[in-house]
Amino acid sequence: MLIRKIGLEEEPPNSSEITYVQTRKITDMPESYEIAELTWQELDAAIEETSTLLLPIGSTEQHGHHLPLGVDTYMPEAICRRVAKRSSCLLAPSIPYGVSPHHTFKPGTVTVESETFRRYVRDVCRSAGEWGIENVLLVNGHYLVQDPELEIVVRDLRIEHDMRAFHVPLVTLFEDVAREIRRTELSFHASEFETSMMLALFPDLVSMDRAKATSIDHEPLPLTDYDALGDNQVGWALSAEEMAELTSTGNLGDPTAATAETGEKLVETVVSKMCSLVDALEDPER
């Protein structure tokens, strides 16, 4: 039985340290906000109340010795679930495969051609537009790498399909807070940030006893950086061969510095910012 009332406020942990947005309560919605759990009639009724859809988009790729292959999908999915509990929106089933050519040096990685990925994501959103969804948030857990594709999808949806679409990369939303609380200088892949968020969201899926620090022994080229929050002023990319040379474990950075507390702060920062966008999109006064 699916009984999860939309709008029920959940008290998040560590609330003293984080500023939360005030979200409004919805009383006359169907019992679930997850569209895969609704009948078409329930979805039809739900779209009378909200025209915003969250679409988590991840990847299936190697994340070192200590994290599972699904990290990039698990993170945005759990974050979207929190947003949908607090703000008026619906949650679509996640897209678990993305653009990951640089991780194919380890098994378990799936990579989808850029054009295939773009068209697939666009078609999913376009279908939602047919039901009456007006706003769609593409919540991207595979940070940095598939940003260009999702930016193009957003542009297509806005210009060709008259939908208000947004690309929401987790890393951009938590960047300010991450800069303040980070303990390591290099967190590029499967390291402090991702491991912390997984410790906060899915601790049973993290094997901290297998986490190993890796470092890079050379300076990055000017205008580029290996860090997720680094000074990347030019577009660039790593190949699988380059990644294999940089890391034998698969992670880049020190995941042993990760804590659930850091993860919770990053997660709540993203949730709070996303709620403020959803609330504004759903505000009839705007």
Interface ranges with Zn ion (CB under 5 A): 71-72
Q: Closer CB to Zn ion, residue 72 or residue 264? A: 72
250 close to 205: Cβ distance less than 8 angstroms = no
Nearest approach, Cβ of residue 271 and Zn ion (Å): 18
Nearest approach, Cβ of residue 278 and Zn ion (Å): 24
Two structure tokens written together for 205: 């899926």
Q: Closer CB to Zn ion, residue 71 or residue 78? A: 71
Q: Closer CB to Zn ion, residue 166 or residue 188? A: 188
Beta-bridge mates of residue 19: none
* Amino acid at position 169, single letter: P
Give the C-alpha separation, 200 to 174, whole Å. Answer: 14
b or e along 162-180 (b: 16 or more beta carbons within 10 Å of the residue's beta carbon)? ebebbbbbbbbbbeebbee
Nearest approach, Cβ of residue 53 and Zn ion (Å): 23
Nearest approach, Cβ of residue 60 and Zn ion (Å): 10
Beta-bridge mates of residue 91: 34, 54
Q: Tell the burial category of 99 from Cβ atoms under 10 Å away from its Cβ (0-12, 13-18, 19+).
A: buried
109 close to 96: Cβ distance less than 8 angstroms = no
* Amino acid at position 187, single letter: S
Q: Closer CB to Zn ion, residue 30 or residue 141? A: 141
Kindly report the number of other CB atoms within 10 A of residue 146's CB atom: 27
Q: Looking at residue 63, what DSSP letter applies?
A: B
Q: Closer CB to Zn ion, residue 43 or residue 243? A: 243
Q: Closer CB to Zn ion, residue 33 or residue 143? A: 143
Nearest approach, Cβ of residue 243 and Zn ion (Å): 13
Q: Closer CB to Zn ion, residue 103 or residue 118? A: 103
Q: Which residue is nearest to Zn ion (CB)?
A: 72
Nearest approach, Cβ of residue 214 and Zn ion (Å): 15
Q: Is the dihedral of CA 220, 225, 226, 230 positive or negative?
A: positive
Nearest approach, Cβ of residue 88 and Zn ion (Å): 29
Lookup result for tokens 């500023």? 19
260 close to 195: Cβ distance less than 8 angstroms = no
